[in-house]
C-alpha cells in the first residue's frame, strides 16, 4: 500500500519558516566546509573548545599564540613553513567561520526547538524527525573533529576516508531535513505514478556519487588528471589496467601512489555520465505523467545535472596546482542541490489521502 504524506497535526507558519531556515543553513555549512577545504584552512585551529572557541583571537598576543600552536602541526612544517601571521589569519578565518556557523546552527535550531516543544506546537512525529536531524548533526560534528585530528599528527592534511565519513554524514543530515520539510509542507501528489521507481535508483547512484566526491576531495584526486574528456591522454588510466595494482595497500597509501586517486576520479567521472543519462531518461519518462508541482522538481533536477557536469569539466580544466576555488565550491553546491532536488521530486510523488 502506498504510504501517505498526510500529517494530521497543524504546524504554524513560524515552524515552517524555521525548518526552511535550518535547511538553508545546513546547505551553507556544507559550502563553508568546501571553502575551508579548498583554501587549506581546515587545520588552522588545533583545538576544539565548544564554548570558549566562539571567541577568536582579539589582540596580537592571542594571534601569536594561535599561530604558535599551528606551527607545531605537520601541515606547517611540511607545506606552510613560509606562512606569515597575516596569511595565517586568512586560513584561520575560514575554519573559524565554518565552526561558528555550526554553533550558530545549533543555537538557531535548538533553542526554538525547545520553545516549540514547551508550547506544544510540535507533535511527536516532528519531534522524532528533528531528533534524528540533531543526532546526525552531532555525529557529523564529532566526525569533523576526528577528521581534523587525523591531520595534526604526522600528516600535513586530513585523512581522506575520515573526511568522506564527515561529508557523508553531512549529506545524511540534509537528507533527513529534506524529508522533514517535505512532510511538514505536505509535499505529495493526488495520483499514483507507476513508473516512479526509477527515482530511488537515481537517488542511490547520486548518493554513491556524493561518497566518491568526498574521496575525490580527501585524496585531492582532481589534481592528478586535469584534462577532459581524456585523463591525461587516456580514457582509462594505465595504472588501473595493471592487475597488480588492485590491492588494499594502494587504496590506503593514496598519498604516495597514483592508483587510488586514479580509480576514484575515473569512477566519479563515469558516475557523472551515468547520472546525466539517467536524469534525462527520467525526465522524458515522467514529464507527461506528473502533476505541475512534481514537474517543477523534474525540471530542476534536469537543469542541475547538466550544470553539474559542465562545472565538473570546468573544475578539472582549470586546475593549476590546486582546485580552483569558485568552480570547486560551485561544483559541490550544485551537486548537493541536485541530490536534494531528487529527494524533493520523490517526495512530491507520494500519494495523498483523498
For the chain, domain boundaries: 8-186, 190-354
C-alpha distances (whole Å) from 220 to each of 38, 170, 232, 262, 323 are 10, 19, 16, 10, 8
- 8 pLDDT exceeds 80? no
Maximum mean pLDDT: which of 6-10, 44-48, 117-121: 117-121
Rounded distance between C-alpha atoms, residue 310 and residue 306, angstroms = 6
The neighbour count for residue 58, using CB atoms within 10 Å, is 8
pLDDT tens by residue, 294-329: 899 999 999 999 999 999 999 999 998 889 999 999
Asked which of 8-12, 24-28, 90-94, 314-318 is least confident by mean pLDDT, the reply is 8-12
- 4 pLDDT exceeds 50? no
- 179 pLDDT exceeds 60? yes
- The three-class DSSP label of residue 112 is helix
The neighbour count for residue 245, using CB atoms within 10 Å, is 17
pLDDT of residue 294: 86
Report the candidate in 51, 156, 53, 150 with the shortest Cα–Cα distance to residue 97.
53
pLDDT of residue 211: 96
- 7 pLDDT exceeds 70? no
pTM confidence score: 0.91
Question: Cell 597514483 appears where?
Answer: 258
pLDDT tens by residue, 200-240: 999 999 999 999 999 999 999 999 999 999 999 999 999 99
Where helices occur in 39-151 by DSSP H, the ranges are 60-71, 74-78, 85-118, 124-149
Q: Give the model's confidence band at 51: pLDDT under 50 very low, under 70 low, under 90 confident, else very high.
A: low
The neighbour count for residue 115, using CB atoms within 10 Å, is 11
Average pLDDT across the chain, whole number = 88
- In a 13 Å sphere around the CA of 56, the CA atoms on its Cβ side amount to 17
Rounded distance between C-alpha atoms, residue 111 and residue 106, angstroms = 8
More confident position, 50 or 92: 92
Amino acid at each position: 500500500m502506498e504510504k501517505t504524506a498526510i500529517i494530521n497535526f497543524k504546524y504554524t507558519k513560524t515552524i515552517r519558516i524555521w525548518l526552511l531556515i535550518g535547511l538553508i543553513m545546513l546547505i551553507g555549512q556544507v559550502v563553508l566546509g568546501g571553502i575551508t577545504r579548498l583554501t587549506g584552512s581546515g587545520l588552522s585551529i588545533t583545538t576544539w573548545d565548544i564554548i570558549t572557541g566562539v571567541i577568536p583571537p582579539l589582540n596580537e598576543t592571542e594571534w601569536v599564540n594561535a599561530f604558535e600552536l599551528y606551527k607545531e602541526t605537520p601541515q606547517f612544517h611540511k607545506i606552510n613553513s613560509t606562512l606569515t601571521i597575516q596569511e595565517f589569519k586568512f586560513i584561520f578565518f575560514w575554519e573559524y567561520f565554518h565552526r561558528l556557523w555550526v554553533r550558530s546552527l545549533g543555537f538557531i535550531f535548538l533553542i526554538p526547538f525547545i520553545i516549540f516543544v514547551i508550547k506544544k506546537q510540535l507533535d511527536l512525529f516532528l519531534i522524532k524527525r528533528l531528533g534524528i536531524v540533531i543526532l546526525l548533526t552531532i555525529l557529523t560534528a564529532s566526525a569533523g573533529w576526528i577528521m581534523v585530528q587525523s591531520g595534526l599528527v604526522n600528516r600535513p592534511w586530513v585523512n581522506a576516508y575520515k573526511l568522506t565519513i564527515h561529508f557523508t554524514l553531512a549529506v545524511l543530515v540534509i537528507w533527513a531535513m529534506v524529508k522533514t520539510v517535505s512532510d511538514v509542507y505536505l509535499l505529495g501528489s493526488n495520483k499514483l505514478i507507476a513508473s516512479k521507481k526509477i527515482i530511488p535508483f537515481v537517488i542511490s547512484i547520486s548518493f554513491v556519487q556524493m561518497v566518491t566526491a568526498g574521496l575525490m576531495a580527501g585524496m585531492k584526486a582532481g589534481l592528478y588528471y586535469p584534462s577532459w574528456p581524456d585523463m591525461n591522454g587516456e580514457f582509462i588510466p594505465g595504472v588501473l589496467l595493471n592487475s597488480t595494482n588492485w590491492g588494499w595497500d594502494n587504496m590506503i597509501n593514496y598519498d604516495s601512489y597514483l592508483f587510488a586517486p586514479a580509480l576514484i576520479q575515473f569512477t566519479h567521472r563515469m558516475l557523472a555520465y551515468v547520472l546525466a543519462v539517467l536524469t534525462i531518461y527520467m525526465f522524458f519518462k515522467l514529464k507527461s505523467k506528473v502533476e505541475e508541482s512534481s514537474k517543477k522538481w523534474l525540471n530542476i533536477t534536469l537543469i542541475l545535472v547538466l550544470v553539474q557536469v559542465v562545472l565538473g569539466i570546468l573544475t578539472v580544466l582549470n586546475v593549476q596546482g590546486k582546485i580552483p576555488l569558485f568552480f570547486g565550491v560551485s561544483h559541490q553546491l550544485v551537486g548537493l542541490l541536485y541530490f536534494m532536488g531528487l529527494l524533493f521530486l520523490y517526495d512530491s510523488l507520494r500519494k495523498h489521502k483523498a
